[in-house]
């Protein structure tokens, strides 16, 4: 072949899977089921196969553990330190996924010994996975300000308070409820449903859904989602 004098490498994907559980940002981790470091906590991972792209591989890994398809999944970056895997040279492409925490297949999860961990109570992870998690978190914080990706972590319908709780979890600080509400409503991207969530107050809080179609139309016209000033 043309490049036959060049070196070849093992390629893996590792997925950071975010979920949001009412007031805490969480990660889905699993107990590694092969050597080396079998039994330690790890990101979901898998090796790239010759007939698939990296995105394909990442979706395959995600579906294997959670049973989910059609979720938000994005490439993060490449990790290529010479000794990141002690067993052999493996270059890993980090991915991060945002999923609705109520939505996964619980049997599959149990089968793989997978478990949700609060983002500030993570166990020790294998290899350089802590670094991959750190980078994912920074990416999430950056992206959530300028793209409507937060909704991926919530159920289809949600209250403004839930949405604010999510942003408070991501940015780890209090956000003024009145100002947050006005800011998000002023974009005109939320559909109010004729339903109230009565769980948290006597008055009840209206449920909303994100209007993705409208977002795409507005974006095509030059609109930018922007929560940078909250």
Partner DNA sequence: CCAAAAGTGTTAAAGGTACACCCATGC
Partner DNA sequence: GCATGGGTGTACCTTTAACACTTTTGG
Closest CA to 141 of 113, 170, 166, 169: 170
| CB neighbour class for 106 (10 Å; exposed up to 12, middle 13-18, buried from 19) | exposed
Describe the crossing of helices 129-146 and 160-171 by its angle, rounded to 10 degrees: 130
Instruction: Verify binding: residue 126, its own copies, rule CB under 8 A.
Output: no
Residues lying near DNA in the complex (CB under 7 A): 159-161, 176-179, 181-183, 185, 198, 200-206, 228-230
Nearer to its own copies, 2 or 199 (CB): 2
Closest CA to 19 of 160, 147, 169, 218: 169
Instruction: Verify binding: residue 9, its own copies, rule CB under 8 A.
Output: yes
Instruction: Verify binding: residue 220, its own copies, rule CB under 8 A.
Output: no
Min CB(10)–its own copies separation in Å: 5
CA 75-81-83 angle, to 5 degrees, is 130
Q: Which does 36 bind (CB under 5 to 8 A by kind): DNA, its own copies, none?
A: its own copies
Nearer to its own copies, 1 or 124 (CB): 1
Is the separation of the CB atoms in 140 and 227 below 8 Å? no
Residues that bind its own copies in the complex, under the rule CB under 8 A: 1-3, 6-11, 35-36, 47-55, 75, 77-78, 80-82, 87-91, 93, 228
């Amino acid at each position: 072949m043309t490049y036959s004098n060049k070196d070849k490498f093992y390629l893996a994907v590792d997925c950071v899977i975010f979920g949001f559980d009412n007031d805490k940002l969480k990660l889905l981790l699993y107990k590694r089921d092969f050597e080396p470091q079998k039994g330690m906590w790890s990101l979901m991972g898998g090796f790239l196969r010759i007939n698939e792209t990296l995105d394909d591989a990442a979706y395959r890994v995600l579906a294997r553990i959670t049973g989910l398809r059609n979720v938000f999944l994005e490439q993060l970056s490449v990790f290529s330190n010479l000794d990141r895997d002690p067993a052999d040279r493996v270059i890993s492409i980090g991915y991060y996924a945002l999923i609705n925490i109520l939505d996964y297949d619980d049997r599959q999860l149990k089968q793989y010994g997978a478990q949700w961990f609060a983002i500030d109570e993570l166990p020790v992870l294998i290899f350089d996975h802590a670094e991959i998690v750190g980078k994912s978190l920074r990416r999430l914080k950056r992206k959530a300000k300028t793209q409507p990706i937060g909704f991926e972590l919530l159920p289809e319908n949600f209250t403004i308070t839930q949405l604010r709780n999510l942003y408070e979890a991501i940015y780890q600080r209090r956000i003024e409820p009145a100002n947050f509400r006005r800011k998000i409503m002023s974009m005109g991207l939320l559909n109010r449903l004729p339903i109230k969530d009565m769980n948290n107050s006597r008055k009840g809080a209206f449920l909303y859904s994100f209007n993705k179609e409208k977002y795409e139309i507005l974006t095509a016209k030059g609109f930018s989602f922007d929560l940078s000033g909250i």
